[in-house]
Structure 1
């Protein structure tokens, strides 16, 4: 692999104008295709074939309705008054009548006829249907016009709030807060490199990679279903790894330039050596993200594959466009004499990284115990982790959808925000009616049921449905337990009368998805742990290194989950972080955090330990190799981690309830993994193991393939003579042009 990457880097340096022009054409073509042929993103959160989803599909066949956007209008009378009062009832009806005349509105429900007036008579809910398809956004002019119809009711003293799916805010995947993250990343790069020019290279390639991957996602959305959360996650990861991967190559290139190496040769070698680490690190992230598809949840699959595409684009950019850009800048990237960037390459230079690791090595046992116990303590809250799919109650309280959600919950009970439906089907109309009556009778005695509606018979009389209002909210664990009790309660009806009886509704579908995702977390963790052991055994040809790295990864994941529970469920620091609501985190957040953090943890392990292994191979001094590796790699690992944390935290500030726990978990996980695990536990464990850290049994050695991650064999083969020859060849090619 090192030889192939060397040739790729050499080609990029030799044909830099061709490479840059080619990328410009490709990106322009992809952008034009994405804008012209890009499809719409989907907001579906279901599992095809799940019991609740199957029943929901059958219910739609019995009660056909257009798949269009809808909204809710909530009217509430002042305290001490009822909507039935003439001075309030007439303005409410006038507003509803005006709503029905809004262009784009196809139907407005009657709260009284639909049983949507609260027991105290103060609150009413009217359903509004639009002519807009459910996978499209209702025009803003239509939504504003509908809101304006409430002026009459407001003038009479009523509180009028508009909510529902049509009013759910659709934020762009990238906004002002994410731009702040880019600026912070640029500042970190400037401090790391001591050069604005060098700092701009990783940022430029990362941004171009994100733009390209976003356009490809839009193109894919025209052919397959893509979750609306996929672009946000892809941007977050694409920016973070894109900057970090380019950072590694640029750092190696500048170190070689400081040593006097020719520019073309330095570009080729940096691509072959640091580029090898980029390929290995990127491959681990890709495998973990692609592995999310095994859960069988389309939403999660699209998020994983879209993010994997963004990471792949970041790797390709770092290996192709970046060498051309570095060659074009020539020796302007050489660190200034006496600067910190130049000092890192000096063998006698003491850096902050060597001071940190030196302090760890003075008391390895103490540091090992203290950090391990501390991380276990932080991870302890993870045992209380609760998950569910987000709904309108997860939105910020400043949004009208959240306000409507809360008003309905207070007026009708928390279960009114997530009703359940019991569907009864039978080919015989008489049997259907009998089964429905029996089911309705049994439902009244189920604990956790707040209300049971009357029986609604389908026009073809082969199906009936009963609306069930839980006593708890849709994201509550008690509601999930209620679904299980309802299925058990109505099962005898199907056995006695024949046909099918099932619990469905959007809340039941969401519970199915959450259950599937929760069940997939442990098997996925087992796969990730096994993959970690395998990949690191191949990379470092050691038994202890993979075991130590995997244990550290599990500590990092546990700490990330524990901190997430403390913030999003218990409310610690929820105010400063702007968490919109406390409760279960998004069901797909833990598995995504585990997948991404696995890849990033392997990145830091490879960056840091490969530098130690390289020095150990030369001098066979286990303790000295730890210090040398820390001096050579700690600065890059620190900068990479800080950039990751900055990018992730800006997505926390975006207030997206689906993305916030993922971004926070990744930011905290990277903080722990980079500084507590890789920069502290790794040196402590290696110091205690000594030469045994690099031992591999002979029998296993014969079976483990040789993978030169850092390009050591290529470096040894080339030597100084090859450096001159290749450099002359590259310069000759340049002159020939």
Structure 2
């Protein structure tokens, strides 16, 4: 306990002294848009910082003298707000006025490189100044900086912990028994959350990775300790003293916890195959959280049992007493009947499970990949109003202009790009091309191309490819390289890059996880079945996500009121997390089945007893996981909201339909083939003994065996 208090103090000390801000680069490495961004920062530094769109609209004209005077006064007050480095006057050469004269567009330039660096209080000051101007002129501010300021915070971590506490108390009926998993998880969360800013000083870490790490830390921390508490109570019910029951719980359930945790780590390591810096930052954050949770389960939990083990049934609620708490069989009669029912109807159970999973996955076939923009923000926010006003006044493409940066090689004549603006204006789908702006050294050129389609439109994606592959090469001479960048092009490149690498992630994670399960359970069928079942449950979760993103009734329940694209990194991230978490329940379930198989040699009885013995802990653990993930659904950040939906639905599907029906039904169909392993492979695989040494802890054996640490493990 003292060492854990010391670790927490050291973690907070390191965070205070070495912690850095979170950052992320969402561009695709080596992409055309990435090169455009680099050239823009090098040759046009005044345009490389963060900016806020300034949109003026009126029922009349925004160009009359009185309105101009009011806007001039507004811009003067906005210029005094901290971090505002300059403002492009909507009526000036860098501003735009719509053809009907009712809308004007300018830019507020900031001295911060990325939106999260802008203090929300300063952005809010700009929003307060942009209240209705006298004369009926409406002012809307838009951009990522405004979006972050308007999002606010929900406190999802606290909601998830509170929900988990309620479920634990109902499950155990004892405040002390419920408190052990909570204390273990909170201890691990305290250390891991304090170390994340330190990690941000070493490598780029996106700000939303804190929510991801908290999801995993709270969820798996409580789940692992829940399994350990359940096993501890079972050993106590069999007559073991608290210390012996603690050792027995760690030697059995503790081994399953370590293997389960390693499957999550292996899954998260698969994100390194994506080749994206922000994915690596998110992966390391999650891995750090899981490692600390495993350490807490193996050290903090037994330390807590040293104080509370004899009092684990204290502070009971006035709920019906469970048989395990009275020293009787820990296997509930209801779950035993369910296990027998699955055994009798194994074929029907297997077919039902597969059909339902495929039906749930079907909506994912129509999913639309892309990055959500201000058009997907809730109605009424300034960011959404600015987006809609610009689209109405200048066309939807004005919300996602393409930035073209031309670079001239040494010796190339300055007029080598002279025909480029004319060629761009002649391209179908282009509504406007700004006059070229030369760089400081005259060797680079900046143009802005406005499409006639919105940032999320497939027509815009086609236009970007046409410009790169045909229009630009034909319009410029040798020695000129033109890169198409901007937020829209960057989103297109990032989506394409991630899509190409998904097979590497899936193949790598599935293969390594299968190898880990093969070593743990010494069975080809168990490893292969687990991989297939997990892929099915992940696919079903993707279908649920696709359904809510359609923006219908299901979408409005979680705050998505219009069709919204799915960021490509979200299914990648959720695949890695969900595959690992699904393996957790597989390890919990199959380790008990293997334990019974080694003891009895009866396949059917081992499946029945293993399912009946773990069903309650799996359902309770799943309920906790679902509650933790569901607490992140109200989050204002869309990726976190969607990840919460995907993970919550996946755990619900996996822990009920898959683990309690499909897995046992298929294992009954496979018979003794569940535990087959070629002799030559059996000799070469290391022995993990994930099921532990249960024979040593049976009351009769425990009474006769010498108390020697060499007997265990």
From 425, 428, 431, the counterpart of 1:444: 425
Per-residue CA distance 1:579-607 (angstroms, 9 max, x = gap): 26532112211111111111111111111
Contact 2:78–2:126 (CA<8 Å) still a contact in 1? yes
Where does residue 421 of structure 1 map in the other structure?
Answer: 403
Q: 1:666 to 1:533 in 2, by over 3 A?
A: same
Structure 1 residue 331: deviation in Å?
Answer: 1.2
Displacement of 1:703? 2.8
Q: Which of these residues, 108, 126, 130, is aligned with residue 110 of structure 2?
A: 130
Measured after TM superposition, the shift of residue 502 of structure 1 is: 1.8
Selected match of 1:409 from 391, 404, 407? 391
CA contact (8 A) 2:97 2:105 kept: yes
Which stretch of structure 1 is more off in the superposition, 26-35 or 553-562?
26-35
- Pair 1:433 & 2:433 matched: no
Task: Identify if the C-alpha distance between structure 1 residues 133 and 479 changes in structure 2 by more than 3 Å, giving closer, same or farther.
Answer: closer
Q: How does 1:92-103 map to 2 (within 5 A)?
A: 92-103=71-82
CA contact (8 A) 1:194 1:341 kept: no
> Which 10-residue stretch deviates more, 59-68 or 320-329?
59-68
Q: Residue 333 in 1 paired to residue 312 in 2? A: yes
Q: Does 1:600 align with 2:581?
A: yes
Counterpart pick for 1:716 among 672, 695, 699: 695
CA distance in 1, matches of 2:190, 2:323: 30
Q: Pick one of 616, 632, 637 that aligns with 1:651.
A: 632
Verify the 8 A CA contact 1:82 1:122 in the aligned structure 2.
Answer: yes
Quickly say closer, same or farther: Cα 1:707–1:495, change in 2 above 3 A: farther
Q: CA deviation digits over 1:80-129, x for unaligned, max 9?
A: x1211334332222212222234543211111221422232211222112
| CA displacement at 1:491 relative to structure 2 | 4.5
**Cα deviations by residue, 1:577-635 (Å, 9 ceiling, x for unpaired):** 11265321122111111111111111111111111111122122222112211221111
Q: What CA distance in whole angstroms lies between the structure 1 residues aligned with 2:292 and 2:153? A: 18
Distance (whole Å) between structure 2 residues aligned to residue 356 and residue 31 of structure 1: 48
Q: Distance in 2 between matches of 1:245 and 1:319?
A: 10
Q: Secondary structure at the match of 2:148?
A: coil
The worse-fitting range, judged by mean Cα deviation, of 370-379 and 140-149 is: 140-149
Once the two structures are superposed, the pairs formed by residues 259-338 of structure 1 within 5 Å of their partners are: 259-334=238-313
Change in Cα spacing, 1:434 to 1:344, as seen in structure 2 (3 Å) is farther
Task: Output the CA distance in 1 between the equivalents of 2:114 and 2:361.
Answer: 41
Question: Residues of 1 paired with 2:525 and 2:644: CA distance?
Answer: 31
Q: Deviations over 1:275-319 (max 9, x none)?
A: 111110100101111220221111111111101111111111111
Aligned to 1:73: 54
1:372 is the counterpart of 2:354: yes
Q: Measured at CA, do residues 522 and 478 of structure 1 come closer, stay the same or move farther in structure 2, by a change above 3 Å?
A: farther
| Structure 1 SS opposite 2:86 | strand
**Alpha-carbon spacing, 1:535–1:494, altered in 2? closer, same or farther (3 Å):** farther
Distance 1:294 1:405 in 2: 36
SS of equivalent residue, structure 2 residue 406 = strand
User: After the TM superposition, which residues 447-526 of structure 1 pair with which residues of structure 2 at under 5 Å, given as runs?
Assistant: 447-493=428-474, 496-526=477-507
Task: Determine the structure 1 residue equivalent to 2:654.
Answer: 673
Mapped contact 2:95–2:106 kept (Cα < 8 A): no
**How far apart in 1 are the matches of 2:575 and 2:327?**
35
**1:706–1:303: structure 2 CA closer, same or farther, 3 Å change rule?**
same
Displacement, 1:424?
Answer: 1.8
Q: 2:341 aligns with which of 359, 363, 371?
A: 359
Q: Cα offset for 1:244?
A: 0.4
Matching residue within 397, 409, 421 for 2:379 = 397
Unaligned stretches of 5+ in structure 2? none
Structure 1 residue 205 corresponds to structure 2 residue 184:
yes
Between the aligned partners of 2:130 and 2:556, the Cα distance in structure 1 is 33
What is the match of residue 509 of structure 2?
528
Residue deviations 1:436-493 (CA, integer Å, cap 9, x gap): x322233234343332222222232212222111222223333223211110124524
- Secondary structure of the equivalent of 2:661? helix
Deviation at 1:341, TM superposition (A): 5.7
The alpha-carbon distance between structure 1 residues 204 and 409, as it changes in their structure 2 partners (threshold 3 A), is farther
Residues 258, 334 of structure 1: 8 Å contact kept: no
Q: Is the 8 A contact 1:192 1:341 kept in 2?
A: no
How far the C-alpha of 1:140 sits from its partner, in A, is: 4.6
Aligned residue for 1:388, secondary structure, equals coil
* Counterpart in the other structure of 1:548: 529
Alignment partner of 1:120 is 2:108? no
Q: In 2, distance between residues paired with 1:250 and 1:198?
A: 7
TM-superposed deviation, 1:183: 1.6
* Alpha-carbon distance in structure 2 between the residues aligned to 1:90 and 1:173: 34
| 1:500 partner SS | strand
Equivalent residues in 2 for 1:575-724, closer than 5 Å: 575-579=556-560, 581-712=562-693, 715-716=694-695, 723=702
| Number of residue pairs matched by the alignment | 705
RMSD: 2.6
Partner Cα separation in structure 2 for residue 215 and residue 706 of structure 1: 36
Taking structure 1 as the reference length, what is the TM-score of the superposition? Answer: 0.90
Once the two structures are TM-superposed, the CA of residue 137 in structure 1 deviates from its matched residue by 3.5
Secondary structure of the equivalent of 2:413?
helix
Judge conservation of contact 2:409–2:443 (CA < 8 Å) in 1.
Answer: yes
1:703 and 1:394, CA in 2 relative to 1: closer, same or farther beyond 3 A? farther
The alpha carbon displacement at 1:219 in A equals 1.1
The 2-side partners of 1:719 and 1:374 are apart by: 41
Q: What is the distance in 2 between the residues matched to 1:726 and 1:106?
A: 77
Of 118-127 and 332-341, deviating more is: 332-341
